[in-house]
Structure 1
Amino acid sequence: MARAAAAGWDAVGTYVSAACATATVRLDIRDRDAVRRVVAAVRPDAIVHAAAGRDRNDWAATADGAAHVALAAAGVRLVHVSSDAVFSGRLGEYGEDAVPDPVYAYGAAKAAAETAVRAVDPSAAVVRTSLILGDGNGAHEILTRDLIAGRVRGALFTDEIRKPVHVDDLADALLELAAGDYAGVLNVAGADAVSRYDLGVLVARRDGLDETAIPAGSLAALGLARPADLRLRTGRARALLSVRLRGATEFVRSGRG
């Protein structure tokens, strides 16, 4: 919402539980009729759908909700935010043409959401992204600080590879796509492939915390059934978009991630 306002958009944000300065219209996307009413009332030129269930097993919000938004958006430019979680990680690198093969509930719901959006509106842009960081407020940043402080139990895995993106870069890409006509899947992620553990180390160093206090772990050693190596190929996005998709090594070390 902040990036939209800075770019000159007259943006309207929705919320489901608590209103805030950037989200003033209540909307539960699990309610198909409510989605239609809000879209009809706002009459937007474009919709950026970034919502998902608060519970990662919330199929009704993540999958059904995306279908409701796509149906209500008929005739309106739609940009749908998806995830690298639609993949198993067995291939390592994934281009836009890769077929989803999720291995856990959230990934399955996001894959179903993609299918619904593309079936209802073939002209929509479906943006697959990765870990999102944002000046200390990203989920991975918060988890890193909590692990170091001992507020939560767990570990950051050395063999869980992602391509983190800065929230400003992702937001600018979504807005650029909202103003354009790109149709289909587009990978929008950062330039660097790093492990969750190494990303935690970068965050700790930026925040002046003890990086040696970060518990390290291995998906393979624990036998966890979740994707290990999810590297999204971003050559198409780099050629298409004017926004520069920075790598975590750059934006975290610079203090802007």
Structure 2
Amino acid sequence: MTKSELKVFLDEKVVEYNNPEFLETDPIQIPHLFTQKEDIEISGFLTATIAWGNRKSIINNSHKLMEKMGQSPYDFVLNHTDDDLENLSGFVHRTFNEIDLRYFIRSLKNIYRKHNGLEGIFTTHQDKNSLQPTISIFKKIFFELPYEQRTTKHVSDPLKGSAAKRINMFLRWMVRDAATNVDFGIWKDISASKLSCPLDVHSGNVARKLGLLKRKQNDAKALAELDKNLRKLDPLDPVKYDFALFGLGVFEKF
């Protein structure tokens, strides 16, 4: 199909999937449990961190995590005691376990106490055209406390070749506007034009079939290629096509 036909097709799919029904089967339903900005950020970040594998398992384990944090993630992060951290024992999602979780909680406390929160880091260090270099800076700040090496794999670094799917998804949640009641739009000082598609096996395969992506690996170079082509379709909100690519792949087996 022509470029104009492709845009019409994908725009229709965006409308189809970018609506509250999407929440029923997507991990983004977890931060929608909250109304306070910081609760949304922290629950969203932790949920996105474990968002790989079976989607039902992701959602179930994210609910368990919120329960362990007393359904008040911001208060838990800021005011937890050593005993509270011990109560996180037994949490596991695939390779993310209680060791990783305890560090994440300590690091988030440091970020909200010393770096003006998650939004503060991404806003202060944002690049002119893309948030991929910012993610790399974020990882350095995230691991400025003493940590175990195993935990570093749970925060991706685009400058080391990663497509950083989960953190790009989290950024989409925080930055894209809330007009359709799916994303939150609570980070007002970052433009949606800088967002990148959460590239995974589903969106990658559909993008290749549609001619939006040629590179075979789902890595940072593939993400840059996909970003370039999606920005041709909509330079102001390119990552809206995440809904179309993901929906076509997961729900329509395109």
Q: TM-score, normalised by structure 2?
A: 0.35
Q: TM-score, normalised by structure 1?
A: 0.35
Whichever structure has more helix as a proportion of its residues is: 2
Whichever structure has more strand as a proportion of its residues is: 1
